[in-house]
Amino acid sequence: MTNATSSASTIKLTDAQLVLLSAAAQRDDSLVVLTDARPSVARTIAALLRRHLPMELVVRRRQPHWRQDENGKPSG
């Protein structure tokens, strides 16, 4: 009998990334909220988006968003 091993990849996240994702997980709408307008927060969100951890989508105008798409619609 052979032992089967699974190779699960582990994603390492910074504390800031964990805080943003944890806060989103606790929200009813699961949106990542831009907590601060500092460039470091925008870089943190950009890094998460590159990893496809939060999915960027068009949100309603009153929902939290961090940018507008090319058509002027808010994305969050």
pLDDT confidence tier of residue 9, bands split at 50, 70 and 90: confident
Q: Is residue 31 part of a domain?
A: yes
- Domain that includes residue 31, residue range: 15-75
Q: List, for residues 35-74, the tens digit of each pLDDT value.
A: 777 888 888 988 998 998 888 888 887 787 777 778 888 7
Q: Is residue 6 part of a domain?
A: no
- Give yes or no for residue 21 having a pLDDT over 70: yes
Q: Is residue 42 part of a domain?
A: yes
Residue 72: what pLDDT?
82
Q: Is residue 10 part of a domain?
A: no
**Cβ(48)–Cβ(54) under 8 Å?**
yes
Q: Is residue 3 part of a domain?
A: no
Q: How many domains does the chain have?
A: 1
Return d(Cα 47, Cα 42) in angstroms, integer.
Answer: 9
Q: Is residue 32 part of a domain?
A: yes
